[in-house]
Amino acid sequence: MNKQRILLLSVFVTLLLVAGCGGEKKPEVSEGQPAATQQQATPIDQATVGEITGKVSFEGAKPKLKRIMMDQDPVCVKKHSGPVYFEDGEVNSNGTLPNVFVYVKSGAEKYTFATPSDPVTLDQDGCMYTPHVLGVMTGQTLKVVSSDATTHNIHPMPKDNREWNESQPPGAAPIEKTFARPEIMIPNVCTRQELIWVKPRVEKIHKEVEKRYNVKIKYKFGTMVEIARACVRAARIAEVAEFFSFGTNDLTQGTFSFSREDAENKFLPIYNTEGILRHNPFEILDELGVGWLMQTP
């Protein structure tokens, strides 16, 4: 049911998680081991480690937050005393931002960093992610738990790791995942020829990076399938792509021919209440429509 999003950022991994309700599926640990991409890197001298503190402020008119419709799940509703809003774009009363992650974008490439042994815990409480923003390093365990007496669906959509989608019923064991597989994904492809055009350019950049940093990087060349035509032509696209990752949000919008924002804020709650649609297709996959497209050879 939860449509809230969380952005996980670190020097090595960028992930996007979307929580929602769905059917049960047993947790499954991500496959693969971290690739050795820093063969001649320099360990950090702990005597030189410092700390940067500060605050991030917002200038201008505060953005209007969108309301999250939790009407279909009484468990979600009972945990809140009033309306619930998306935390994306939230601004504190003093102008600071509560959901910010600051990270080193460049300049630390020659150093190695030990992977923390402690997991990073993400809780689902009141059908909201807590915390809303957190960081996780490559190889570090992300531990997803739930404080709600309802089933949640955890669906990260990473750019550089395999996408996964798992349900977590009430009382279920924590879902533990690591993100370690380097990948290059080309989103929004509709034809095989696009990949044929892009692939040599990616290979060129790959060789330049390996030479520049004196490292060996293993990766897979794949694509995000978000367009109905790409589903229909998947067999041909697979001749070039080594893997697919499905963008179900865009596929759902294209299949139903309506905007998610307009639908959820206007007529979709009525469709669900009146039984026109059994579920919100953005929260529970439309197996007969979008699901069929995803299975099309």
pLDDT in tens, 76-121: 888 999 888 888 789 998 999 988 888 777 777 778 778 889 999 9
Please check whether residue 227 lies inside any domain of the structure. Answer: no
Cross-strand bridge partners of residue 143:
121, 176
Please check whether residue 121 lies inside any domain of the structure. Answer: yes
Residue 44 three-state SS:
coil
Please check whether residue 196 lies inside any domain of the structure. Answer: no
| Kind plus residue range of the DSSP H or E element containing 137 | none
Please check whether residue 86 lies inside any domain of the structure. Answer: yes
Q: Which residues, 6 or more positions from 72, have their beta carbon under 8 angstroms from its beta carbon?
A: 1, 269, 272, 280
Tokens 């991409």, residue located: 37
DSSP 64: P
Instruction: Sheet containing 129-130: give its strands across.
Output: 129-130, 120-124, 142-146, 175-177
Q: Give me the domain span that covers residue 144.
A: 1-176
- pTM (two decimals): 0.50
pLDDT on residue 10: 28
Q: How many structural domains are present in the chain?
A: 1
pLDDT on residue 215: 86
pLDDT on residue 138: 81
Please check whether residue 278 lies inside any domain of the structure. Answer: no
pLDDT on residue 14: 29
Please check whether residue 148 lies inside any domain of the structure. Answer: yes
Q: Helix %, strand %, coil % for the chain, to 5?
A: 25, 20, 55
Cross-strand bridge partners of residue 172:
none
pLDDT on residue 280: 92
Please check whether residue 8 lies inside any domain of the structure. Answer: yes
Please check whether residue 170 lies inside any domain of the structure. Answer: yes
Low-confidence ranges of the chain (pLDDT < 50): 1-39, 183
59-70 pLDDT, tens digit each: 888 888 888 878
